[in-house]
Amino acid sequence: MIRNVLSIAGSDPSGGAGIQADLKAFSARGVYGMAALTALTAQNTQGVCGVHLVPAAFVADQIKAVFADVRVDAIKIGMIANAEIADAVADAIEPHKGIPIVLDPVMVAKGGASLLDLSAVDVLTRRLLPLATLLTPNLPEAAALLHGPSADTRADMAEQAQSLRALGPEAVLVKGGHLPSQESPDVLATAAGLSWFEGLRIPTANTHGTGCTLSSALAAELAKGATLPEAVADAKSYLAHAVAQADTLSVGSGHGPVQHFHELWTLREGHSR
């Protein structure tokens, strides 16, 4: 049976992040993707130049419409934007207990633009973190949620993962891509303790949408019945290969997207088949 996964996030018209990246990752990981939009952005590989928020009530209407008709096997939550939307999302998904929820606390775009109103951080923490099966912050996001400094060592990452888990999510994956190192380790904190997932830093500027892609791949794996460690291992491997193949694309002149379909597309004589 093909699993159905719902993304609740913002739109990226250049296709590398947000809803567009989520749907690509869902497809690449073999699940059927659905989307409820929280915001429209005007952005490309060089940055964000505008954001138009969807009214909170209509965000809720989109989610309710999906649940009224379609079996939902997992949820990925990305860009929330403000406190009203955070409350609306929490209200809409709270009645549906038992569905795996991956929460990617999107706060800042790759180019530096803020994607989360500061007033929303409190609502995100109080309402959405306790609903999450897995929280997936990068180092700046983890620091913002904890109102502290960004981790710059593995020991700091481990401590922050455990501190974030104490706020309510079932598990926390703190991503180490911002570490000042040639390595890119992630740490998973669960009730069973800490697990490390190693990775090497890949030399490319084309990393637009990596957080969206990883969290969507995680939601896809959880929808298919994987355990948390299995889902993290599979999703991290998928993203590493997508980043490694990012330079085969030619999209924009800034931070280009990763190659979501690296396992499906082959290049022969200059043509994708």
Active site residues: 175, 207, 209-212
* Beta carbons within 10 angstroms of residue 168's beta carbon: 16
Phi–psi pair at 268, nearest 5 degrees: -135, 120
Torsion angle, alpha carbons of 11, 89, 101, 96, to 10: -130
Alpha helices in 6-153 (DSSP H): 18-28, 56-69, 83-93, 118-123, 139-146
State how far the Cα of 249 lies from the Cα of 123, in Å rounded to an integer. Answer: 38
CA distances from 51 to 12, 44, 54, 151 (A): 10, 12, 10, 29
**Cβ proximity of 168 and 149 under 8 Å:** no
State how far the Cα of 235 lies from the Cα of 231, in Å rounded to an integer. Answer: 6
Q: Which two tokens stand for residue 50?
A: 């505008």
